[in-house]
Amino acid sequence: MRKEEYLSYIKNAVLYGRETYEQNTKKWLESFDPRGFFGYTPPGHIPVQAFLEGFMYKLTGDIEHAEWAKKGLLEMEEFKKYFPMDASVQREDYREALPITEPLFAFQPYISAYLYIKDSGVLSKQEEQSIRKSIKETVEVILHFPEWGAHNRSMLRVWGISLACAALGESVETKEWLKLCECLASETIGRWSIEDTELYVPLWLFATMEYVKIMNREEEYYRMPQTKYYFDFITNLITPNGLIPDFGDANFNSNWYIWLACLEKGASVYKCGHMKYAAQKIYEFGMSTHEKGIYSLGLAMYFVYAYMYADDGIIPKKPTGGSNELLEDLVGKKIVFRNGWEEGSTYMLFNYRDEGYYAYIPRKYLRTTIDVKAEKMHHGHSDENSVVMLTKAGNILLCDGGYRENLPNGKYRADIYHNRMVFREGIKANHIPVLEFLHDDGSYKKVFTEKIHFQRFSQLEMSRTRMYYLPLDIVWDRSIVYVLKEDMFIIIDWVKFNKEGNYMCANLWHSQIINGIYGNCYDVYYKDIHRYPNDAQPYQNKTDYSLLVQFPLEGKNIGHEPIKRCYGDNIVIYEYSNGHYKAGQSECFVTVLCPKRRDKNEIRWKRKVKVEALGEDKDYICVSAVADKDELYITVKLDLDKGLLSDEFCPQYTWESGKIEYGLITTDADFSYVWVDDTEKSVKYGLIDGSGLAFKHKSLFFTPKFSSYQLRAKKLITADHKWKAWEGETEF
């Protein structure tokens, strides 16, 4: 993006804002609820209009802009009369005065507008004193509830208060306020965000960026590895066409313009063409969904920052990497599968982020201060081990469930609204619908997660993550195998019950319209996606592709039901087991996801993905897929402890103790694949965490043995050694 493009939009938005100024004020009067959940919320368009006018005055010197900014700044006082005295008395923070704006999001543009025009000469001394008094009173309201922790609500307050200090100048009072800002910001600067949400992480990052600028700490802040992490996170998160997946508390592509502003700053600071490219793609997709002829003041406000941050000398550079972790397995806990960055590419975002084992006290503070039982602290959903989004050539094939349908908690945060496994205690009667049985109070259940494997091979890519579901003492591993050549995902879920009981395990996948049902295979697609409640003009999805969802493992209950999800009418496709399980018993599910041309009935892999072998105790599995004359076999050791010896000596494994016969394949690896390529007359293979692999009793690979000294036995032995991963190719 070039600065002139941002400026062009800002100029048009200023004029549009003037034209609709009175109309928007009237709408506010008609809808204002003094008993609303968030208290006194005066019109938000006025401080933003004042901000834009003030910016244009600073840029051009045109006094008309300063006059318009002054009008908005002074007019905000008038709306206080609509807030009844009895409502004010009921709220402790309003006893002295009402805030001039909503304190989190509108306060900063109000102050900035004042700073832009305070030396313009349009304000009388009395008018300036009135504005300064309004700023002071709003800070005093904020002081009643200065939330803390590394999250957006805290840093938005910090940004607002520090900006107020810049506007009011140094005093005994502002020194105290800045001391509070420093205390609150110390949870953020050089720390990780405690939020897991597409909507709020950019607000947190942006507010922090503005705070360090006010405090002249930019050089220190941008040197920190935690800071650069989030700019790299954004860059690697987006889909090939610039869509930002909506994980956690978020709606479809929400706050894209804040992500954009952040990336313009990142590109300028780090001289990074990849960040500049990501900003360009985010802008292109965001503007493609923006209604023509309508100019958003909120959009224009962040375009002001993008204009100020942007460096036209940075040349956009398209990333070239493929699938990868986003960015690691301690904080990000996400994996992006992609077969390129071109617009026709396939993209999947997989999220296994839990609350995490850091920032214990801030999370405890939030949990014991605000009533949000449905979310993990903070703004995260019950979406661990969930496929958040799947796209193909810009067609959205899987997406998330939305933010919430109402305050304060909202059911869309609950586990059943995500593409994941769901667990419940009890046995469902035949006449009860699956969703009715799965529905509960929607409160967040404590879990923790970890990465087991992530490995890229030449033929396929594989991840395995684990959830410890504490409420029922269940362990759930989800393995995802992305077969690059065939653009197909094979997902294997393994569930282990650590205590005896009656349980339902449901494997849920969400869509909107069924294009066809072929036995255990559904052909589904999204026509549109609602971005918020009562969205009259939902996002219209592209029409090229649909998604095949196949359940090749026999013996499960398969079906679908309607579900209200993401503010619209959707369907949930399910596969479930329900019964009595003993402690230590396991269950297994297999799902195949395959994008296909929506207008074609020809399904290359249809009915050709099957389970070749499944252990009697469901502790290992082999899945095969056949296309033309090519054959693919993948093996997964479901129970990773299978074959381990006593811990009396190390290594606790041998080839003989660990090898599993999967039919055509023999291996002791956690994962392996064999690809019989008929075209090239070769066998391609790979393994993870194993010492050997054989196909049709022919050795493909074995690690060299090594000498291990047994400390307890005080002797040297010849032992097998497991390599982290390996792949190779041989003729057949």
Say how far apart CA 484 and CA 387 lie, in whole Å: 18
- Going by C-alpha positions, the residue among 232, 576, 568 that lies closest to residue 417 is 568
pLDDT tens for 45-91 read 999 999 999 999 999 999 999 999 999 999 999 999 999 988 777 88
How high is the pLDDT of residue 602? 56
Q: Which residues of the chain have pLDDT under 70?
A: 602-607
Secondary structure (DSSP) of 328-386? -TTTT-EEEEES-SSTT-EEEEEE---S-SS-HHHHHHHHTTS--TTSBTTTB-S-TTE
> What's the CA gap between 255 and 251, in Å, rounded?
9
Q: How far are the Cα atoms of 376, 448, 645 from residue 533, in angstroms, in the given order?
A: 23, 31, 56
Please count the other Cβ atoms lying within 10 Å of the Cβ belonging to residue 427. Answer: 12
Burial class of residue 146 in the structure, from the number of CB atoms within 10 Å of its CB (0-12 exposed, 13-18 middle, 19+ buried) = middle
Report DSSP state, residue 307: H
Residue 418: name the closest of 392, 395, 444 by CA. Answer: 444
What pLDDT score does 605 carry?
Answer: 46
The pLDDT value recorded for residue 731 is: 87
pTM of the model: 0.95
According to DSSP H, which parts of 76-151 are helical?
85-90, 107-117, 125-142
pLDDT in tens, 423-474: 999 999 999 999 999 999 999 999 999 999 999 999 999 999 999 999 999 9
Distance, C-alpha 1 to centroid of its chain: 25
**pLDDT recorded at residue 85:** 84
Residue 110's pLDDT is what?
A: 98
Instruction: List Cβ<8 Å contacts ≥24 apart for 468-471.
Output: 469/423, 469/445, 470/445, 470/446, 471/445, 471/446
Element (H, E) at 425: strand 421-425
Is the distance from CB of 229 to CB of 180 less than 8 angstroms? no
Using one digit for the tens of pLDDT, what is the confidence trace for 173-195? 999 999 999 999 999 999 999 99
